[in-house]
Amino acid sequence: MATVTERNGAFQIVSSAGYNMDGKQIRKTMTWKPAPGMTKKQIEKELERQKYMFDERVKKGIFLDSSIKFAEFAERWFTEYAEQQLKPKTIAHYRALIPRINQSIGHIPLDKLQPLHLQAFYNELRKEGIRRDQRAQSKIDLTAIRKEQKLTKVKLSAAASLGVTTIDAAELGKAISQESAKAICNALGLHYDEAFETIGKSTLSDKTIRSHHALISSILERAVKWNILINNPAKRVEAPRMERKTPSFLEEDEARRLLDALDKEDEQKQTMVMLLLLFGMRRGELLGLKWQDIDFERETITINQTIQYLPEKGVFESTTKTTTSQRTVKAASYTLQMLRRHQAWQAAERLKAGDRWTDHGYLFTRYNGDPMQPDYFTSWFKAFVRRNDLPEDIHVHSLRHTSASFLIADGTALTTIAQRLGHANAGTTAKIYAHAIQSAGAAAAEALENKLLIGVKDQSKTNLA
């Protein structure tokens, strides 16, 4: 049976895990600290329960003590917690962050991990050259050099172990990964610096640094809940500050230019962009729409699911970002007519595809009825923006920001906007769109002055004259 020793208001519980090869007893320890406000009787009762549970875990060999290294515990966190509780996209994002974290603090036992270790790590993340995903762009005529060496694109792609599309992109002067650029240089016998230039930032964004902190804190908080640590050292470190950027959105004249240009695109693209503008949906929510979510009689659209993509999983259906993102919004007559047209267009496409069509019920699909890959739509929209000389900083998510900004300018209540966007509350909407609210307030003040004080202003001008 486990033994208990009280130390500074906490209880150290020790249990025997048998003997090692030298005949020495193997002892496992854990520390339990009563919650504030517990009575003496409650502490005694809970302490007995903790002793029993700890003893059982030690006997079954499933106990983790505080000397476990961060990297080892992080892997347990992924397999025993994250994979059961978090979305695949979130897990993939965290998996991409953990190598850099483990490189810095993975070797440190949990009970030795201090706030200073974390602060030093965050400071390191702010240094130049920390990014591993910088891009490269050719600054010479790669096509001419390839032809001089009598290489076809196929032969060069084989020599560099890259796809032909990557070779195409490099020769057209498009951005490719540094690794791909170096592979091309090796295949052509060129030095990287003479053939390519590195583009983009070499530092991590504030948001990315904050994501590292969030992951570390989540892992350590789970260690506290599993009674491995008494407290979470990440809570004693100030989270990296993140400056809120003003969302990019279209002005009224730019939105009109976009709509004019949209007339030249196919039915599906037109409908997709219009829905993003009219309802402020997220990209995944748009692609996740099914015909069963459109109620033509009640004139509503229900957002229930999203379409996501991961390289190792392909295109898949997932739940919305949060529970409040599941919502039903009213649709005006123009939207319903547009959706009827799109439904007829899709029916014609289904006939063209014949037995290649698989009906999944989605509004927006590939040629065979399968859900659309989200990045395909993003790539098309980028090209659409360039072709039509629209602002360079406009991207798919800008359509959501444009929708919200127009509603704010029109005087729509923030609670209504929050519901349409799927925000948890109006406070979230107010934080994101503070710029639009301020502009709308200034316009409203001027409009009120013009309406109420026009006579006073005219009189004032007369007196000055």
pTM listed for this prediction: 0.70
> Domain 135-199's class?
mainly alpha
Chain-centroid distance, C-alpha 235: 23
Sign of CA dihedral 374, 377, 379, 381: negative
Domain with CATH 1.10.443.10 in the chain: 254-387
Q: Does the pLDDT at position 460 exceed 80?
A: no
Query: What per-residue confidence (pLDDT) applies to 132?
Result: 63
- Averaged over 284-313, what is the pLDDT? 94
**Are 130 and 202 a contacting pair, CB within 8 Å?**
yes
Average pLDDT, the chain: 88
| Alpha carbons 380 and 129: distance in angstroms, whole number | 31
Split at pLDDT 50, 70, 90, the class of 52 is confident
Query: What per-residue confidence (pLDDT) applies to 463?
Result: 55
First to last CA, the chain: 98
280 exposure class (CB count in 10 Å sphere: 0-12, 13-18, 19+): buried
Six-digit token pair at 132? Answer: 């591993």
Q: Which one, of 198, 193, 196, lies nearest residue 133 by Cα?
A: 198
| Alpha carbons 179 and 166: distance in angstroms, whole number | 11
The two beta strands, 25-32 and 3-7, are unpaired
Q: Which CATH architecture has domain 254-387?
A: Orthogonal Bundle (1.10)
Give tens-digit pLDDT for 314-341: 899 999 888 888 999 999 999 999 999 9
Split at pLDDT 50, 70, 90, the class of 57 is confident
Query: What per-residue confidence (pLDDT) applies to 56?
Result: 79
Q: Does the pLDDT at position 182 exceed 90?
A: yes
Domain with CATH 1.10.150.130 in the chain: 70-128+205-236
Query: What per-residue confidence (pLDDT) applies to 459?
Result: 56
Share of the chain above pLDDT 90, in %: 55
Split at pLDDT 50, 70, 90, the class of 160 is very high
Q: Which one, of 262, 267, 282, lies nearest residue 403 by Cα?
A: 282
Query: CATH for 70-128+205-236?
Result: 1.10.150.130
Phi, psi (degrees; rounded to nearest 5) at 135? -105, 165
Domain with CATH 1.10.260.40 in the chain: 135-199
What residue spans of 280-360 are helical by DSSP H? 283-287, 333-353
**Are 141 and 161 a contacting pair, CB within 8 Å?**
no
| Alpha carbons 301 and 292: distance in angstroms, whole number | 9
